[in-house]
């Protein structure tokens, strides 16, 4: 779809410049530590390069040396559940050119929050909306145009194959049951579930569905064989049903504890598959640390159960960056209103939480203050762990040689709640695209 193409091809530096920047006097996130090291990036290739090879073997002198004054240099943040932001919701039916324009505008705003890559999420909607919107939401970083801002890593379809008793704010009138893979194709569109005959990556990266509904668990292997992540969510699944889904290939849990059967001492439900004694691979899981969806102690319990699977997400709606008030939202067959008061969002006329309006870096700061975890552990939950969940190890979420040069410069502040991480600069493919100063 031509409307969704990046704005311009990647440019090459002129006047004898090589596009290489060296960062020095910085604390680099590497594994579970902040390490005092220099970092070299190349804006021509968009990659991180080996500094010793560049300097000693190839005798390269960087165009620019940046002294970060001891601040943190982290991989760019990865958001795995974003419904919208800055006035635009992905679950909106618009003309193709208008929709593509809105996505581009959102990308340029999102990168200012430290998010360099994200998974755009569409909630439970009519088939027409999926089939018109999804082509705009597939992976968008293959041209490496830094100025376009945050890139999509592929779309997340959160529905409509959900449990009607764990629907949250999703409209039950559009929920469906899948008995065959053709039911998925009928809903999302054949081309959005297939890469054959297209030069572009497949739009869908992840699907959230209730495994106990219809034949969904039996369809998991077909989804994963196509490179689509199956996430358990909005589900009444018992521990046994969730375990069967994991055995079939489910590798993610959507906003753990929210919109699912609660933990019970005789049936731990979906949470039980995170147990260390399980013979199955333990899935990754999303946690919304906004102070509304989960109690801080619940978040600590989840983290301690499986720290290597812990991923912070916002579940943010289009009200991010907007003032308090009531805002329209396409909710399946009808239009609803979401009421914003601070970071709290409520579906009008109910007491149901309707996503959040928090930023990902705010979630990181909240987790730091609630959990007692260190900064490296908190940053892993929005960098290397989501990258691993998405199958992008070594490309995103790290500062290793050859990885995409997506980075965020962070300073440490304090507020009434404790430690606060602040986004000072954002770099995309080795080019600075935002500076707070």
**Rounded Cα distance, 22 and 39, in Å:** 6
**Rounded Cα distance, 227 and 202, in Å:** 9
Angle formed by the axes of helices 360-371 and 296-305, nearest 10°: 90
* Sign, CA torsion 126/130/132/136: positive
Other Cβ atoms less than 10 A from the Cβ of 233: the count is 30
315 classed as catalytic: yes
Instruction: For residue 3, count CB atoms less than 10 angstroms from its CB and return exposed for 0-12, middle for 13-18, buried for 19 or more.
Output: middle
Return the structure tokens found at 334: 């009808």
Q: Taking every pair of C-alpha atoms in the chain, what is the biggest distance, in angstroms?
A: 70
**Rounded Cα distance, 11 and 18, in Å:** 12
Catalytic residue selected from 290, 315, 406, 424: 315
**Rounded Cα distance, 86 and 132, in Å:** 21
The backbone region for 226, taken as left when phi is positive above 0, alpha when psi lies in -120 to 50, beta otherwise, is alpha
Contact between 295 and 266 under an 8 Å Cβ cutoff? The reply is no
Contact between 352 and 282 under an 8 Å Cβ cutoff? The reply is no
The residue whose two tokens read 């959160």 is: 158
Return the structure tokens found at 212: 């106990």
| Secondary structure of residue 205 in the 3-state scheme | strand
**Rounded Cα distance, 23 and 29, in Å:** 13
The candidate with the shortest Cα–Cα distance to 246, out of 265, 234, 232, 256, is 232
Q: Which residues are catalytic?
A: 315
């Amino acid at each position: 779809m031509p409307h969704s193409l990046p704005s311009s091809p990647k440019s090459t530096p002129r006047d004898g410049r090589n596009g290489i920047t060296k960062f020095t006097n910085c604390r680099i996130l590497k594994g579970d530590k902040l390490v005092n090291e220099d970092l070299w990036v190349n804006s021509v290739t968009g990659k991180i390069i080996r500094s010793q090879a560049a300097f000693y073997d190839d005798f390269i002198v960087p165009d620019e040396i940046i002294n970060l004054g001891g601040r943190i240099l982290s991989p760019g943040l990865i958001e795995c559940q974003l419904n919208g932001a800055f006035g635009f919701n992905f679950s909106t039916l618009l003309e193709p050119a208008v929709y593509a324009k809105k996505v581009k505008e959102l990308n340029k705003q999102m990168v200012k929050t430290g998010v360099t890559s994200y998974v755009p999420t569409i909630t439970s909607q009519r088939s027409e909306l999926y089939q018109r919107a999804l082509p705009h939401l597939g992976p968008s970083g293959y041209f490496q145009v830094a100025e376009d801002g945050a890139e999509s890593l592929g779309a997340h379809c959160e529905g409509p194959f959900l449990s009607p008793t764990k629907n949250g704010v999703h409209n039950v009138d559009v929920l469906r049951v899948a008995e065959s893979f053709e039911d998925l194709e009928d809903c999302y569109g054949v081309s959005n579930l297939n890469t054959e005959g297209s030069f572009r990556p497949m739009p869908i990266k992840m699907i959230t569905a209730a495994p106990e509904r219809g034949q969904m668990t039996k369809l998991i292997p077909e989804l994963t064989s196509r490179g689509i992540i199956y996430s358990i969510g909005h589900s009444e699944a018992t521990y046994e049903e969730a375990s069967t889904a994991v055995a079939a290939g489910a590798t993610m849990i959507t906003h753990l504890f929210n919109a699912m059967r609660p933990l019970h001492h005789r049936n731990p439900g979906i949470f039980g598959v995170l147990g260390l004694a399980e013979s199955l691979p333990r899935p990754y899981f999303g946690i919304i640390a906004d102070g509304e969806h989960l109690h801080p102690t619940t978040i600590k319990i989840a983290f301690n159960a499986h720290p290597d699977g812990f991923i912070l997400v916002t579940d943010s709606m289009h009200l991010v960056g907007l003032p308090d008030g009531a805002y329209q939202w396409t909710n399946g067959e009808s239009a609803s209103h979401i009421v914003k008061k601070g970071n709290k969002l409520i579906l009008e006329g109910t007491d149901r939480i309707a996503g959040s309006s928090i930023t990902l870096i705010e979630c990181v700061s909240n987790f730091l203050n609630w959990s007692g975890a260190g900064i490296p552990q908190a940053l892993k939950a929005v960098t290397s762990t989501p990258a691993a969940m998405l199958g992008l190890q070594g490309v995103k979420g790290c500062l290793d040689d050859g990885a995409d040069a997506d980075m965020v410069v962070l300073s440490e502040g304090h507020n009434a709640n404790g430690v606060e991480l602040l986004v000072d600069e954002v770099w995309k493919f080795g080019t600075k695209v935002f500076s707070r100063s």
